[in-house]
Amino acid sequence: MIRLSVLDQSTVVTGRSPDTSIRESIRLAQHCEALGYDRYWCAEHHNSDSQAGTAPEILIAAIAATTTRIRVGSAGVMLPHYAALKVAEQFRVLDAIAPGRIDLGLGRAPGSDGRTAYALNPRADTAAEQFPADVRDLLAWLAGERLLEGHPFRDVRAQPAGPTTPAVWILGSSDYGAQVAAYFGLPFCFAHFITDGHGVEQALAVYRESFRPNVRLSAPHTAVCVWAMTAETQDEAAWLFRSREMWRLGRDRGIFTALASPEEAAAQPFSEAEQARIEQLRTRSFYGTPDVVGTKLRAMADFHGVEEIAVLTTLHDPEARRRSYTLLAREFELQRPAGAPHVPLAAE
């Protein structure tokens, strides 16, 4: 059975202030918990007009404090921006807020442009090279273990200690992240939504072939994060997808802007080449009625042999986004937590 989770970028949309996206993330997390989703992951981006989620550790705290069951975590913390000890301390605090419900997804990519990476860490030119060593130290600090013999910070501890530990994931869109995850014996999530699926098969193969079992994880565990959206009808889904089409055309040119409404996207003139790219996106993307999207997601999970799918849905209308997650939960027959309220569709 496929486990279904959520990735949230706190997407900025036209016509509303970016700060509203953060509050909508908290509301969506509560909504998805009531629907029975397994995890709720918050992304990290900087200096972006597209995403407001600059500090996932703070957003995770707010979500963890206002939910009771769903696992909450990062997808991910971009470790080269920070000291491993500070990240360990942040997530030990989060685990104290919601014991046993915290995931720490780690990434190596900057989640921003090069200049912003230097603004976050003046040693950005070498920080990415230290990623494996930082992961090693972070794992030890999270687990309350001493660092390697001879390490200058061997006797430093990350507080607050507790009986549970955040679950660490490696997130990536290439073989590199797969290799790091395999070496440390950590679960691995491939960012399908970034590459449109390019490279996923090879990365998962590298991960599985190189995986080293350990006390944290005895066998490889894989997930894929995809962009997906559902609506009651195919026509409605196609209409809502117009926002995604326009945004992706901008991303292809390195332009990251607020997500336009379907009306704004429909009024935008596109060149012949852009229209061809849109048709390509429509063919490759997961959108439509719940049965259409469910069939595609199950087929993808079966083909790649993944245990979990994290779904990223970016829509201009927050109600349409919540409805999409509701329809998808029903399609996959997610089990609502005991005592959770029934989540009606707008038409009910």
Q: How high is the pLDDT of residue 338?
A: 66
Cα–Cα distance measured from residue 77 to residue 170, given in angstroms and rounded to the nearest whole number? 10
Q: Where do the domains of the chain lie, and which CATH numbers do they carry?
A: 3-331 (3.20.20.30)
What is the mean pLDDT of the segment spanning 303-332? 97
Question: If you ran DSSP here, which 8-state letter would residue 44 be given?
Answer: -
Q: With 0.85 as the threshold, say if the pTM is over it.
A: yes
- 216-229, pLDDT tens digit by residue? 899 999 999 999 99
Chain length of the chain: 348
Cα–Cα distance measured from residue 321 to residue 237, given in angstroms and rounded to the nearest whole number? 11
- 322-335, pLDDT tens digit by residue? 999 999 999 999 98
Cα–Cα distance measured from residue 223 to residue 229, given in angstroms and rounded to the nearest whole number? 18
Q: How high is the pLDDT of residue 348?
A: 45
Cα–Cα distance measured from residue 315 to residue 262, given in angstroms and rounded to the nearest whole number? 9
Q: Give residue 238's pLDDT band: very low, low, confident or very high (50, 70, 90).
A: very high
Cα–Cα distance measured from residue 28 to residue 63, given in angstroms and rounded to the nearest whole number? 10
Which position has the token pair 């009651």?
232
What is the mean pLDDT of the segment spanning 242-258? 94
HSE of 288, CA atoms in CB hemisphere, 13 A: 12
Residue 343 has pLDDT above 70, yes or no: no
Q: Is the dihedral of CA 318, 320, 323, 324 positive or negative?
A: negative
Residue 344 has pLDDT above 70, yes or no: no
* CA nearest neighbour of 48 among 300, 255, 287: 255
Cα–Cα distance measured from residue 73 to residue 109, given in angstroms and rounded to the nearest whole number? 17
Cis peptide before 76 (omega within 30 of 0): yes
Cα–Cα distance measured from residue 282 to residue 260, given in angstroms and rounded to the nearest whole number? 17
Residue 278 has pLDDT above 90, yes or no: yes
- How large a percentage of the chain has pLDDT more than 90? 89
Q: Is the dihedral of CA 57, 58, 64, 70 positive or negative?
A: negative
The answer to whether 251 and 322 have CB atoms below 8 angstroms apart is no
Q: How high is the pLDDT of residue 64?
A: 98
pLDDT mean across residues, the chain: 94
Q: Give residue 1's pLDDT band: very low, low, confident or very high (50, 70, 90).
A: confident
Residue 346 has pLDDT above 50, yes or no: no
Question: If you ran DSSP here, which 8-state letter would residue 79 be given?
Answer: G
- 183-237, pLDDT tens digit by residue? 999 999 999 999 998 999 999 999 999 999 999 899 999 999 999 999 999 999 9
According to DSSP, the β-strands at 167-172 and 102-107 are parallel
The answer to whether 60 and 74 have CB atoms below 8 angstroms apart is yes
Q: Give residue 340's pLDDT band: very low, low, confident or very high (50, 70, 90).
A: low
- 53-108, pLDDT tens digit by residue? 999 999 999 999 999 999 999 998 999 999 999 999 999 999 999 999 999 999 99
Residue 51 has pLDDT above 80, yes or no: yes
**Largest Cα span, the chain:** 64
Residue 149 has pLDDT above 50, yes or no: yes
Q: How high is the pLDDT of residue 110?
A: 79
